[in-house]
Chains A and B, each alone.
Chain A
């Protein structure tokens, strides 16, 4: 089945630094990747939609200059959290597709803690 690798699985960074999260489709080409964020005990909230070779589409309330998304190839999308602050601490998950019955496969997520 379709596999999506997300790296790193967890990261701790200092306030003010930037963190890059990678999302790779291992055995299929992903024309679209989605980035979600999940706060504790809350649902997954879509942050942005990334189509290969074009600029990402951000959801309302998501700062595009803070959350930089690059989808330069059909197998890789990156999310960079710039000038991270403690309130950016969250669980970030990507999904890639289209593929399979579900349409999209999720990565394993990245736990970001900003101290």
Chain B
């Protein structure tokens, strides 16, 4: 049973436009959510996070939105750049421990 889902395996966006990556979760005990960027054969790199007590967190071109009632979060990248092309994972952490549960990932391709 997947507790964290990223339903879009891939997304293609034109450079300069907005990229929106979505993530849904089922476990209401998750209280902290993170987005990671990953290149092939490398470890994930942390991008941005959000606590369950907030509904928005912004860091430069990256903004994460959290809708607790819908158990949904999204990552907005604007403007998108070719260097943003990678696989993006959302992850969730419960208040009982520090382990992360990852979504399946979304491959973002930003076309010049």
Instruction: Give the residues from 83 to 109 in chain B that come closer than 8 angstroms, CB to CB, to chain A.
Output: 89, 93, 97-105
A107 near B104 (CB under 8 angstroms)? no
Closest chain-A Cβ to B81's Cβ sits at a distance in Å of 22
Which of A91, A102, A108 is close to B34, meaning CB atoms less than 8 Å apart? Answer: A102
Contact partners of A76 in chain B: CB under 8 A:
none
What number of A-B contacts does a CB cutoff of 8 Å give? 54
Report how far A104 CA is from B99 CA in the complex, Å.
Answer: 9
User: A93 contacts B44, CB within 8 Å?
Assistant: yes
B interface bracket (residues with beta carbon within 8 Å of A): 20 to 34
> Is chain A's interface secondary structure helix, strand, loop, or mixed overall?
strand
Within 8 Å CB of B32, what residues of A? 103
Chain A 4-21 interface residues, beta-carbon cutoff 8 Å to B: 4, 6, 9-10
Given A91-B41, A97-B98, A98-B98, 15 more A-B residue pairs with CB atoms under 8 Å apart are: A6-B43, A10-B41, A34-B100, A43-B89, A43-B102, A45-B102, A93-B43, A95-B43, A101-B46, A101-B49, A102-B34, A104-B98, A108-B42, A108-B43, A111-B41
